[in-house]
Amino acid sequence: MPLALVTGATGFLGWHVARVLNEHGYQVRALCRQPGRLRELDAEPVAGDLRDPASLRVAVQGCQLLFHVAADYRLWARNPAEIYDSNVKGTRNILDAAEQAGIQRVVYTSTVGCIGVTNGSVGDEETPVSENDMAGHYKRSKWQAEQVALEKARNGLP
């Protein structure tokens, strides 16, 4: 079975992604700052931080899949640069590492806050949206990170 790296596996969504991968027979490697939080998962913990490119290069080695689920989801921070460092620079760092390692497939997780506002219809990834529509540092940083992921995909990252 392929080896999948999951970022954010100690968080709510990432934990569930890793669990579903386990249920489908995938080997899971979990990038985490606190490996003890990998409760009830069959996952290989790997210490790392999205802001540390060297740790990410180690984490992706031997993986075929990357599920990038981690994010700094604080709606407020004394120093908003921390949110951008994790979400925007961190996304670029992990995608760069995946590209260099020859990862076969990347799944990037954004946020519903990056979907444009509609006139009463259901919004989706085709709904027009701009950075000016993003209220707050979390949404703005996730929108910027999504642009990084889209750029990488346009340039051939699978």
Of 26, 84, 108, 138, which one is the catalytic site residue?
138
CA torsion through residues 30, 33, 35, 37, sign = negative
Q: Is 138 a catalytic residue?
A: yes
Query: Nearest Cα to 71, choosing from 135, 137, 150, 1?
Result: 137
In sequence order, the β-bridge partners of residue 44 are: 29
Which helix or strand (DSSP H or E) is residue 27 part of? strand 27-32
Taking the alpha carbons at both ends of the chain, their separation in whole angstroms is: 19
Helix, strand, coil shares, percent, the chain, to 5: 45, 15, 40
Active-site positions read: 138
